[in-house]
């Protein structure tokens, strides 16, 4: 059983890789988290760490799936959720307990580094597509801000252009007036009719 004690926000570091628990089709993830509060000694100017508190963090559904795909041991995170105490009977029959936070929000702590967000596509029913990251309905391409990333792949500047536009880079071949006229069916008929008329005497045929 669990006794709810309210909503808290804590920051710390993952003490283990997240794992999936249970056999249900609904994702459930759990990981341990170490949070160490501290203060700066005004006399020495040194930072003093308080005792470390270990917490179990649980997440469900879409949040759990994204936790499993995103977080690793040692990552700095910020967690918001309901804190409580889980109790169960151990193998020896004694009552065991553990502090646990049922998370509503989990994210990297950007005070210690940077990350890049990838949106999870959703189905028409609004549920996230498990195990897939990206932007729903978008064509493949560089990620946002790729213009400022020297390592980002460059797209083909001719992508999507008609083939005849791409061929304009080469020397153009001039067309004769006759070939231009024949391209028009009515002009071709006129040329054929003119060719059938005999040339006047003393004049070269056209």
- Max mean pLDDT among 28-42, 130-144, 166-180 falls in 28-42
Q: Identify the architecture of domain 1-37+47-111 in CATH.
A: Beta Barrel (2.40)
Report the distance separating Cα 62 and Cα 94, nearest Å.
Answer: 35
The Cβ of residue 91 has, within 10 Å, a number of other Cβ atoms equal to: 6
Residue 55 above 50 pLDDT? yes
| Sign for the pseudo-dihedral over CA of 198, 200, 202, 205 | negative
pLDDT of residue 88: 83
Q: Contact, 16 vs 68, CB < 8 A?
A: no
Split at pLDDT 50, 70, 90, the class of 99 is confident
Least confident of 59-63, 84-88, 165-169, 193-197: 165-169
Residue 160 above 70 pLDDT? no
Split at pLDDT 50, 70, 90, the class of 35 is very high
pTM over 0.85: no
* Of residues 105 and 153, more confidently modeled: 105
Split at pLDDT 50, 70, 90, the class of 97 is confident
| pLDDT above 70 coverage of the chain, percent | 56
Residue 129 above 70 pLDDT? no
Closest CA to 120 of 63, 176, 169, 205: 63
Encode pLDDT of 69-88 as tens digits: 999 999 999 999 999 988 88
pLDDT of residue 6: 85
Report the distance separating Cα 133 and Cα 144, nearest Å.
Answer: 14
Sequence length of the chain is 206
* Of residues 111 and 98, more confidently modeled: 111
Write down the domain spans for the chain: 1-37+47-111
Mean pLDDT of the chain: 72
The 3-state DSSP class for residue 191 equals: helix
Report the distance separating Cα 9 and Cα 48, nearest Å.
Answer: 21
Which pair of structure tokens corresponds to residue 130? 């498990």
């Amino acid at each position: 059983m669990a006794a709810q004690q309210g909503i808290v926000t804590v920051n710390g570091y993952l003490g283990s890789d997240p794992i999936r628990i249970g056999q249900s089709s609904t994702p459930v993830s759990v990981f341990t988290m170490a949070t160490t509060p501290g203060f700066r000694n005004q006399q020495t100017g040194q930072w003093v760490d308080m005792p470390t508190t270990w917490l179990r963090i649980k997440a469900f559904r879409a949040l759990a799936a994204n936790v499993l795909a995103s977080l690793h041991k040692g990552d700095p995170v910020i967690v918001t959720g309901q804190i409580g105490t889980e109790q169960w009977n151990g193998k020896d029959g004694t009552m065991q307990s553990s502090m646990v936070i049922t998370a509503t929000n989990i994210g990297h702590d950007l005070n210690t580094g940077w990350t890049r967000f990838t949106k999870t596509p959703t189905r028409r029913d609004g549920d996230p597509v498990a195990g897939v990251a990206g932007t729903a309905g978008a064509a493949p391409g560089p990620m946002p801000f790729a213009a400022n990333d020297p390592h980002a792949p460059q797209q083909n500047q001719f992508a999507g252009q008609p083939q005849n536009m791409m061929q304009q880079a080469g020397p153009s071949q001039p067309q004769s007036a006759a070939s231009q006229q024949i391209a028009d069916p009515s002009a071709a008929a006129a040329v054929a009719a003119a060719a059938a008329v005999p040339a006047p005497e003393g004049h070269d045929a056209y």
